[in-house]
A and B are shown apart, each in its own frame.
Chain A
């Protein structure tokens, strides 16, 4: 697989630091599952975090901290079911990488789609409220209406491909859009296009609209 469109370093740093909304983290973890180039960069930023930790400030631990920790360890050891389980183990086949499968509760066939107009379907996934993430299904050859963006929007292709004024995006490719991008994505002929898209736009409305209206905006 040849991935041409990658994450920005700002997003990778935020993912490594653990300061991004959960919805963004899900799209990033899913892209990284498919892209070793970005995985290496994420792990490099983790190394930066490690270096900051190692050379950073210290805080005094409580007097019984070590004993308390050893007690925690002993308690966990007593649970015989402590077999090493790799909960993010890869699967042989399927469209969704492990982190996405976790949120959907299965692969593509487990998604509960809702119509979104023009043959497009979507499914909102549940994350923390500071951003939203959804799966989008665009029929082959169909257009997504011309739209702009508020805040940042990440769109990751999982199946098929789409084109817009800027480029072609296939499986594994991620488009990072900000306020400046105004585009009309078109799904390529041949295969239904499935994307995972996250946006932090609702945050922008936080002060302008009553909180009650927010759920309606999370379409």
Chain B
């Protein structure tokens, strides 16, 4: 089942409520949307039904526990949850450690810039629409790269993926973080 819901609730606001007020209702809303998607991702990555169920619960619990690490100037909520699910997949299915890049230095202002956050969220929305509009063949290739086990040599150099503008946005946010440290 593929659904493209253009009237998604404001997930960033949900995360804010979880972070600031430990709002359980906001979490339930997030859970109902993302848990079935995370579970499907894990199933397609080769997890058994039991393992996928268990890992999904752990991923969603991590969303709550690490809510303060979510930065809306650099990622949408679905992006952030994807990275948590991916790391859980590597850990539970592939039994490997996941080396992560060094954190950027946090400036005295740990609160992300509002305008940056807004712009990034808009870019993500556009990206979602662009992905949905891709020819089925190209979308299928991306699906296999993310959900199957297409090796990096099998992944042809992807050209024409609409990532240019979101990359510039993220680059700006990174520059700002680096600057605040100086």
Please list the residues of chain A having a beta carbon within 8 angstroms of any beta carbon in chain B.
8-11, 13-14, 16-20, 22, 24-26, 28-30, 32-33, 36-37, 39-62, 65-66, 68-70, 72-73, 76, 82, 84, 86, 88-90, 97-99, 102-103, 127-128, 152
**Is B137 engaged at the interface, CB distance under 8 Å to the other chain?**
no
Known contacts A41-B163, A46-B83, A62-B53; A10 and B128 CB within 8 A of each other: no
Residues in B with CB closer than 8 Å to A24 are 152
Residues in A with CB closer than 8 Å to B80 are 50
* Residue contact B37 to A9, C-beta cutoff 8 Å: no
Q: Which of A14, A58, A73, A86 contacts B152 (CB 8 A)?
A: A14
* Residue contact B78 to A51, C-beta cutoff 8 Å: yes
| B contact patch SS | helix
Known contacts A61-B36, A82-B65; A51 and B100 CB within 8 A of each other: no
Residues in A with CB closer than 8 Å to B65 are 73, 76, 82
Distance, CA A128 to CA B103, complexed state (A): 24
Distance, CA A141 to CA B155, complexed state (A): 37
> How far, in Å, is A179 (CB) from chain B's closest CB?
10
* Residue contact A56 to B75, C-beta cutoff 8 Å: no
Residues in A with CB closer than 8 Å to B58 are 72
Distance, CA A55 to CA B133, complexed state (A): 11
Known contacts A19-B145, A47-B75, A50-B75; A55 and B2 CB within 8 A of each other: yes
**Is B98 engaged at the interface, CB distance under 8 Å to the other chain?**
yes
**Is B7 engaged at the interface, CB distance under 8 Å to the other chain?**
no
What is the size, in residues, of chain B's interface with A at 8 Å between Cβ atoms?
Answer: 87
Known contacts A52-B147, A58-B36; A88 and B155 CB within 8 A of each other: no
Known contacts A46-B82, A53-B82; A59 and B150 CB within 8 A of each other: no
Known contacts A26-B99, A90-B103; A69 and B78 CB within 8 A of each other: no
Distance, CA A37 to CA B68, complexed state (A): 25
* Residue contact A55 to B128, C-beta cutoff 8 Å: yes
Residues in A with CB closer than 8 Å to B168 are 40
**Is B35 engaged at the interface, CB distance under 8 Å to the other chain?**
yes
Please list the residues of chain B having a beta carbon within 8 angstroms of any beta carbon in chain A.
1-4, 8, 24, 28, 31-32, 34-41, 43-44, 52-53, 56-58, 60-61, 64-66, 68-69, 74-76, 78-83, 85-87, 89-90, 94-106, 124, 127-128, 131-132, 142-143, 145-147, 149-153, 155-158, 161, 163, 166-168, 170-171, 174-175, 178
> How far, in Å, is A190 (CB) from chain B's closest CB?
26
Distance, CA A103 to CA B94, complexed state (A): 18
Distance, CA A212 to CA B1, complexed state (A): 47
Known contacts A54-B78, A58-B37; A99 and B101 CB within 8 A of each other: yes
* Residue contact B2 to A57, C-beta cutoff 8 Å: yes
